[in-house]
Amino acid sequence: MLKLNMKYLKLSGEIYQFGKYHRPNKIGIELCALYMILIIFSTFTGCEKNISVPQHLIGEWKTSSPEYVDRYLKITEHALIFGIGDGEEISQNIEGVNVKEENGEAIYAIHYKDKEEEKWSLVLIYSPSSGAIKLKNGNDIWEKVKTDSST
């Protein structure tokens, strides 16, 4: 006589019988669901990484372009400060920074909110070989202002 190893499961007042090879695998189902969530999440994150402001971007940046003679860009760990001329500046709080590598350059998207809580992004292309940046929507080269290290 054939002896089967049977298990019983009680659902909603009814008893269900499962054989040795027909047991519900709750752990397998949970792992499959977790795996699908991870695949979906990794698809949306893409190749960009969310990072803090890198040290090589922190500082004051100026360009030799005549139209920006009295303008500058200051980057701190927590703020973007735009020098808008006549000694005036506008400060914006940084919300996050994304970076991606392309053709030996780093492309930084600095996300910030203005005073009206509207979200903006400043996209900079950083060249490690020259140590200069370029705004994504411009051709002007911005160089970091050298500070006197003795003070």
What confidence tens digit (pLDDT) does each residue in 44-75 have? Answer: 555 556 778 999 999 999 999 999 999 999 99
Flag whether 72 is in a domain: yes
Q: Is the pLDDT of residue 40 over 60?
A: yes
CA distance linking residue 8 with residue 134, whole number of Å: 69
* pTM, two decimal places: 0.64
For 77-104, write each residue's pLDDT tens digit: 999 999 999 999 999 999 999 999 998 9
> If you ran DSSP here, which 8-state letter would residue 130 be given?
T
> If you ran DSSP here, which 8-state letter would residue 52 be given?
P
Amino acid of residue 32: C
Residues 61 and 81 grouped into a single domain = yes
Residues 83 and 100 grouped into a single domain = yes
CB 147 within 8 A of CB 136: no
Output the pLDDT for position 115. 86
> If you ran DSSP here, which 8-state letter would residue 55 be given?
G
Q: Count CB-CB contacts under 10 A for residue 75.
A: 24
Residues 98 and 27 grouped into a single domain = no
Give CA separation, 60 vs 31, 35, 89, 118, 145, in Å: 50, 45, 12, 24, 6
Residues 70 and 138 grouped into a single domain = yes
Flag whether 12 is in a domain: yes
Domain that holds residue 113: 49-144
**Confidence class of residue 4 from pLDDT cuts 50, 70 and 90?**
very low
